[in-house]
Structure 1
Amino acid sequence: MPARDVFLATLVVAIWGLNFVAIKLGVQEVPPLFLTGLRFLFAAIPLVFFVKKPATNLRSIIAYGLCLGAIQFGLLFFAIKLGMSASLSSVAMQLQAFFTIGIAFVVLKEVPKPWQIVGAIIAFLGIAIMGSEQAANAQLVPFTMLIIGALFWGISNIIAKKAGQIDMFSFVIWTSLVPPIPLFAMSWLVEDQTAILNTFTNPTLIGTGAIIFLAYPATIFGFGIWNQLLKKHPASLVAPFSLLVPIFGILSGFLILGETMSPLAIIGGAVIFAGLLLNVFGGRIFARRANKST
């Protein structure tokens, strides 16, 4: 991967690390499903009136919008509202890298390398360690929501890759039209309607700032660049860059929110990170060993 693309991938995951702090702050001011809907509404409008529709089928646009926006982010926002920390959420969501590789194998016939399979096993062991603690702390439901959300992030990565050689910024903007409809409907049914109305009648600086950050740097720029990289490179090469998200997520959670992680959560996170590292650098390690032995 060229140095420019490495830089862009790193910048995107840094923004996504801060994204978890923005979500944590945002759901304290705005109901989570409604906040998710606003994120994508403002990501789509007004840009959709100035950006040409991407040259792909409507099914891909709707599928991506539902999987990424309505399901993945809806589950993530709700899980954080239920008490999951920004730090732990940033770690758990990165299972999307392995879900992406697995789905790419089934759908795109991209065969994972042996070290990627071992890395996935190690990472899921880390999730089991974390999950045991969340079950003991009665946080298993929101933790499970994060895992399901990571699965749908993986699905959305493959949808974007299968959309073809298209303008990915246009794709992100137009797919952002899809999530607000089901999210607003669900929010009105299950969330506090007074709190929803207060978002407009008594907007707060934190709530407004969270919406702006989530809509533009995290969504338009972040997913536009991410999908462009997925279009240019194999999913198994791009997706693992997300291993940097927990670093930025944990650091920003500590510096901005004062969050800490329990010893067991740290162990589980370290195991997940080890699996991600093997997934990214395993090829180079084995190649060097092979060269030394010859």
Structure 2
Amino acid sequence: MPLRDLLLGLFVIAIWALNIIVIKVGVEELPPLLITTIRFMLVAALLVPFYPVARAQLPFLLLLSVTFGSLHFALLFIGLEHAEAGTGALLVQMGTPFATLLAVVFFKERLGPKRIVGLLLSFAGIAVIAGGPTLPSPLPLTILLLSALGWAISQLLIKRGPPIAPLALAGWVALFAVPQVALGSWLFESGQWQAIKQASWVGWGAIIYTAVMSSIVAYGIWYTLLRRHPINRVIPMTLLTPVFAVGLGALLMGDSLGIHKLIGGGLVVSGIALIVIKFRRAPRLA
């Protein structure tokens, strides 16, 4: 991979890692479902007019808006309101092991010894993190793991669904998710209008960052890299996202770097590496 593309990939990873911190900052000023609603409105406004889709694809996009929009993103914002940014980033990475298990159950994919070890390491890492003082209370923990499950279900749906341009998918999923999360905000949150009036540039900046930088700029660059290079050279870079997020959480938010988080996070990242990286056998010498 050329140095330029490697730097672009690391730039995307940095955007996604900082996105966890930005969400954490944003939900301190605005209710999580409200900020998610505004984020989706902005993404839809910026993408839908320029990326039309076929009418036959709308039911699939509506389904994906439930799993990806409401189950993943909305629960991520809610969970990060009550968890350290680094811990939340590690928990959400469990989407990869969840997706692996779901593929085995529903699509009869074979695991193989390497991926079995990866799954065991990932879940062992969560168990280690659970023994530490930075783990959120059971409800936010469950919410973040459900967010990871929503991501996993969405990835399997995208893999099996109709071919749709990535930015078109992001825009239309956001559009269909708006009424879902807006209804959730109306039912379960209060003081939305007052929060909007009192929000500082930090809160509005958080919304713009998560919508523009994370959802549009980062994914636009990422899918360009996927078109240029073999998947096995690009996907492993995502393993740096929780590493960057934990570091940024400690640097910018004062999050702790206890032994449980370091060891547990290392196990999670190592397990996911075994799941996503395909090792090639060296050719035999004649």
TM score, norm. by length of structure 1: 0.84
Residue by residue over 1:221-270, the C-alpha shift from the partner in whole angstroms, topping out at 9 and shown as x without a partner, is 33455567789999888765432111111122122212223222222112
- Corresponding residue for 1:89? 88
Partners of 2:14 and 2:150 in 1: CA distance:
21
The match for 2:69 is 69
Inter-partner Cα distance in structure 2 for 1:55 and 1:224: 24
**Partner residue of 1:215 out of 194, 211, 229:** 211
- Residue matched to 1:244: 240
Counterpart position of 1:22: 22
Report the counterpart of residue 268 of structure 1 in structure 2: 264
Deviations 1:38-67 (Å, cap 9, x if unpaired)? 111111114322332267622221122111
- Residue 143 of structure 1 is matched in structure 2 by 141
Kindly state the Cα deviation for residue 198 of structure 1 after the two structures are TM-superposed. Answer: 2.4
**2:175 corresponds to which residue?**
177
Contact 2:75–2:143 at 8 Å: present in 1 too?
A: yes
The code of the aligned residue for 1:58 comes to L
Shift of 1:280: 4.3
One-letter amino acid of the structure 2 residue matched with residue 66 of structure 1: V
Tell me the SS of whatever aligns to 2:53: coil
Answer yes or no: is the 8 Å Cα contact 1:100–1:235 preserved in 2. no
Q: Is the 8 A contact 2:99 2:155 kept in 1?
A: yes
Stretch of structure 1 that moved more, 265-274 or 35-44:
265-274
Q: 1:56 to 1:169 in 2, by over 3 A?
A: farther
**Distance of 1:142 and 1:178 partners within structure 2:** 25
Percentage of matched positions with identical amino acids: 33
- Spell out the pairing of 1:2-151 with structure 2 (5 A cutoff): 9-53=9-53, 57-82=57-82, 84-107=83-106, 110-133=109-132, 139-151=137-149
Note the 1:151-170 alignment, pairs <5 A. Answer: 151-170=149-168
Query: Aligned-pair distance for 1:12?
Result: 3.0
Q: Note if contact 2:125-2:263 (Cα within 8 Å) is conserved in structure 1.
A: yes
Moved more, 52-61 or 231-240: 231-240
1:257 equivalent to 2:256? Answer no
Give the TM-score normalised by structure 2: 0.86
Q: Secondary structure at the match of 2:279?
A: helix
Superposed displacement of residue 176, structure 1: 0.8
